[in-house]
Amino acid sequence: MSKVDGKVDGKVDIEISEVGPRDGLQSIATVMPTEDKKRWIAALASAGLQEIEVGSFVPPKLLPQLADTAEIVRYAIGIGGLRVAVLVPNLRGASDALAAGAHKLTIPLSVSETHSLKNLRKTHTQVLEEVRGIRALLDALPPDQRPQLEGSLSTCFGCTLEGPVSEDAVVRLGGQLLDAGCDEIGLSDTTGYGNPVQVRRVLRKVWNALGRDSLNGIHLHNTRGQGLANVLAAVEEGVTTVDASMGGIGGCPFAPGASGNIVTEDLVFLLEAMGYRTGVDFERLLSARAVLAAALPGEPLYGFLPEAGLPRGFELAGERAAEPV
């Protein structure tokens, strides 16, 4: 099969949404210079990552690491073929994201209300009201200018602050996000509590109640070493988009002990080795990691694939005839 811009025929079975420039950078003390962010994002896109969450529209005093998000969005939308995603906590953030030109907006709603109050300083009712306001804002635009609106159900597998989280509440709040105007919802293991059996069960409950089109993506952490096992469970159930962070940087600064994003490099290898096309070029991916390492000197980067390298004779999924198992 032919390669197009580093991708095999440009087709993917599982899309990896790179969240390092947002979820990764927000959780480390170092503030990456804006020009380094641009170089990193360009390198990630060159490697074949088609969706990158480039920042968050929150007050700079809360997350100075992301104070340049508007400039980063304006730069990233100029990269051909890249879907530029951002996190927005409220209507004000959504307005700023629209002005910058983002393609996708994600608003988080923590199933754990304790975490919601800590993270957004809002109750469930208040977050849903923000979603309605954002929906009205988007509906005022011509249809072809409306970015995608995703509601992310945070702490849906457990919460460091509250402990176990009701799976019925996950389904109920997911339905309320859709009713309030989200185009789709996503599941987020904010605190790294999830296990593969739980992931399968929650996915099935959501799909059975809200329909298969309601949910396509999942955001998993490797805090307790379950990240890739949970990915396998999610993909086998039918999830088609998985979030990951280059070098495994990041986590949630408002959930104690919740560091540990899935390592993008290891995730790409897992999926490609199983026969799923990701559209990612390994050589360019490791070049992007080098850009990140140079921009964050002294910051630990994680991952087994970058250390061990590819097995001898390894081929991308699209270059061989084997079907996903």
Q: Which residues are catalytic?
A: 252
| C-alpha–C-alpha distance, residues 258 and 192, integer Å | 6
Short-list 237, 316, 232, CA closest to 277: 316
Residue 185 CA to its chain's centroid (Å): 12
CB count, 10 Å around CB of 322? Answer: 9
Q: Are 115 and 154 in contact (CB under 8 A)?
A: yes
- Give the count of beta carbons closer than 10 Å to the beta carbon of residue 220: 29
- Contact present, 267 and 302 (Cβ < 8 Å): no
User: Which amino acid belongs to residue 202?
Assistant: V
